[in-house]
Structure 1
Amino acid sequence: MEIVPLGPGFAAELRGVTLEDVASDDAAYAAVRAAFEEHSVLVFRGQDVTDEIQLAFSRRFGPPEVTKVGSQGTGSHFVILSTIGPDGKVVPADHRLSLRARANQLWHTDSSFKRVPALASVLSARIIPARGGETEYVSTRVAFERLDPALRNKLQNSFAWHDYAHSRSQIAPDLASPEERAALPPQCWRMVWTNPVNGRGAIYLASHAYAVEGMEAAAGKKLIDELMEAATAAGTSYLHPWREGDVVMWDNRATMHRGRPWPAHEPRLMVRTTISATAADGVDTMHSPSTQAAE
């Protein structure tokens, strides 16, 4: 397996290995898992991907999430990211599917609004536009290491509240349905996630974050905004231009990402599997003690 660096201090393309190899071979899985821990974003090109292969690959890294209520793919292990309606045509710009695609253009990490956050996401390109529609990534691990040491120490014992409805309200007030709001109450997570394999910390934030535990609302929002700005500063991202057969896997503990716009009349279909974090991934140290007691 060849590892080709792509981004500024993170992200790599893996050559000479397929999703099927990882699903069926222990040595291939061990090599890819080590690359995942080191590089955070992994690109696999030229994959002959199917739902079955993608799910088998994902299961090697941990339990796959069941897709939440209100999403395309609800109840399965697949999140369908599409702006193609039931009639096979691209939906208009004010359609709910288009608005949800716009919400994914906010910087975020997947599933920080859930009771069990995500270790990793695996996204495969099924139908891609002729131009645009890239996915952009930043390393919140590299961003954390750039911070002033005093701020790093402060963040180690700070907690932020995450809410799915908060991020969706930035696009449209009712984009999160009543069913989604009921199923996805706010969650409070530590603002630094330390990787148990290599001991490196990463800022754990997203567009879902709206408040800091124990801080006045305005001060907490200011801190969140400043950290988001620092993590997404110009020149720190890897922009992935999709090709047919691409699969990208990323570490939700150590990155944020966002989709980029594409021509509104062009179809785009992507399929995502999301792998839940477990105690081995450090999730047991992430919850605020007050919220653990409440649960």
Structure 2
Amino acid sequence: MDVVPMGPGFAAELRGVTLSDIARDDAAYAAARAAFEEHSVLVFRDQQVTDEIQLEFSRRFGPPEVTKVGSQGTGSHFVILSTIGPDGKVVPPDHRLVLRNRANQLWHTDSSFKRVPALTSILSARIIPAHGGETEYVSTRLAFERLDAPMRERLENSFAWHDYAHSRSQIAPDLASPEERAALPPQCWRMVWKNPANGRGAIYLASHAYAVEGMEPAAGSKLIDELMAFATAPGTSYVHQWRKGDVVMWDNRATMHRGRPWPSHEARLMVRTTISATVADGVETMRPPSSQAAE
């Protein structure tokens, strides 16, 4: 297996290996896991992807999430990201599926709004548009390391609140359904996630973040906005140009990502599995001491 660095200081392509190799071979998994901890975003090209292979590969990294209410794939281990309706045709631009895809074009990290946040997401390309639809990534680890020492120390002792409904309201007021709001109450997490494998910290934020514990709402929102802008500054991102058979996985503890738009008449079908963070991934260190903390 060859690890070929990509992007501005993070991301790498893994060559000479398949998802099945990593799922079934301990040595291949160990090498892939080491690359994941170092580079945060891993690209696999020309994979023969099926739901079964993707799930087998995903389980190697930890327990897969069950897809939340209100999503395509609810109750399974798959999130279906598609603009194809039940009739097999591309849905119109004002369809709810399109609005949900538009929400994914905000900078975010997956599952920060859940009681158990995510270690990694694995996304496979099944149907891709001829133009557009790229996914853009930034390293919040490198962003954290660019901050001055006083700000790093401040963030290490700060906590932010995350809410799914908050990010969705930026697209449409009722995009998060009552069922989703009830199932996904706000969660509070430390603003820096330190990787137990290498000790490196990363800013833990997303479009789901709306408040900083102990700060006035306006001041907390301003700090979040400033950190988001800092982490996503021009020249800091890796933009993945999708090809059919691509699989990309990323570390939700150390990156943010967003989708890019594509022509509304072109179909796109992507399938995501998401792996919950465990004690070994440092999730326990993220919980605030307050009784308001996420369970």
State the distance in 2 between where 1:294 and 1:54 align: 29
State the secondary structure of the residue aligned to 2:230.
Answer: helix
Structure 1 residues 95-134: aligned runs within 5 Å: 95-134=95-134
Inter-CA distance 148–294: structure 2 relative to 1 (3 Å threshold): closer
Distance 1:245 1:160 in 2: 37
CA distance in 2, matches of 1:163, 1:294: 12
Give a deviation string over 1:239-262, Cα, whole Å, max 9, x none: 000001100000000000000000
Q: Name structure 2 gaps, 5 residues minimum.
A: none
**Per-residue displacement from partner, 1:107-145 (whole Å, max 9, x unpaired)?**
000000000000000000000000100000000000000
Aligned to 1:184: 184
1:293 and 1:111 mapped to 2: Cα distance?
A: 16
Aligned to 1:80: 80
**Deviating more after overlay: 185-194 vs 281-290:** 281-290
**Alignment map for 1:1-295 (pairs within 5 Å):** 1-291=1-291, 295=295
Q: Could you tell me whether the CA contact under 8 Å between 2:141 and 2:254 is conserved in 1?
A: yes
Structure 2 CA distance, aligned partners of 1:293 and 1:268? 38
**Residues 291 and 120 of structure 1: is their aligned pair in 2 closer, same or farther, counting only changes over 3 Å?**
farther
Secondary structure (helix, strand or coil) at the match of 1:290 reads coil
Write the letter of the residue equivalent to 2:283.
V
Q: 2:291, 2:30 → 1: CA distance?
A: 35
Give the counterpart letter for 1:213 in structure 2: E
Letter of the structure 2 residue corresponding to residue 150 of structure 1? P
Indicate the SS of the match to 1:289. coil
| Structure 1 consecutive aligned stretches of length 4 or more whose deviation exceeds 3 Å | 291-295
**Aligned amino acid, residue 26 of structure 2:** D
Q: Shift of the alpha carbon at 1:288?
A: 1.3
- The verdict on how the C-alpha distance between 1:195 and 1:98 changes in structure 2, with shifts beyond 3 A counting, is same
Secondary structure in 1 matching 2:290: helix
**Quick one: distance in 2 between partners of 1:278 and 1:193?**
13
CA distance in 2, matches of 1:294, 1:229: 26
Cα distance in 2 for partners of 1:248, 1:291 equals 37
Q: Distance in 2 between matches of 1:56 and 1:294?
A: 29
Structure 1 SS opposite 2:272: strand
TM-score, normalised via structure 2 length: 0.99
Per-residue CA shift, 1:144-179, capped at 9, x if unaligned? 000011000000000000000000000000000000
Amino acid at match of 1:132: G
Once the two structures are TM-superposed, the CA of residue 287 in structure 1 deviates from its matched residue by: 1.3
- Deviation by residue 1:86-125 (Cα, 9 ceiling, x = unmatched): 0011111111000000000000000000000000000000
Identical positions, percent: 86
Are the counterparts in 1 of residues 118 and 277 from structure 2 also a CA contact under 8 Å?
yes
Q: Supply the distance in 2 between the matched residues of 1:260 and 1:9 (Cα, whole angstroms).
A: 21
- Structure 1 residue runs of 5 or longer lacking an equivalent are none
Q: Deviations over 1:16-63 (max 9, x none)?
A: 111000111000000000000000000000000000000000000000
Q: Distance in 1 between matches of 2:11 and 2:187?
A: 28
Alignment partners' CA distance in 2, 1:215 and 1:11: 34
Shift of 1:84: 0.3
Within 2, Cα distance between the matches of 1:88 and 1:146? 47
C-alpha distance in 2 between matches for 1:291 and 1:121: 29
- Distance in 1 separating the partners of 2:14 and 2:77: 25
2:220 maps to a residue whose letter is G
Query: Contact (CA 8 Å) 1:188, 1:291: kept in 2 or not?
Result: no
For the aligned residue pairs, the C-alpha RMSD in angstroms reads 0.8
- Over residues 246-289 of structure 1, what are the superposed CA-to-partner deviations in whole Å (9 max), with x where a residue is unaligned? 00000000000000000000000000000000000000010111
1:8 maps to a residue whose letter is: P
Using the alignment, how far apart are the partners of 2:58 and 2:214 within structure 1? 37
**Pairwise CA distance, 1:191:** 0.1
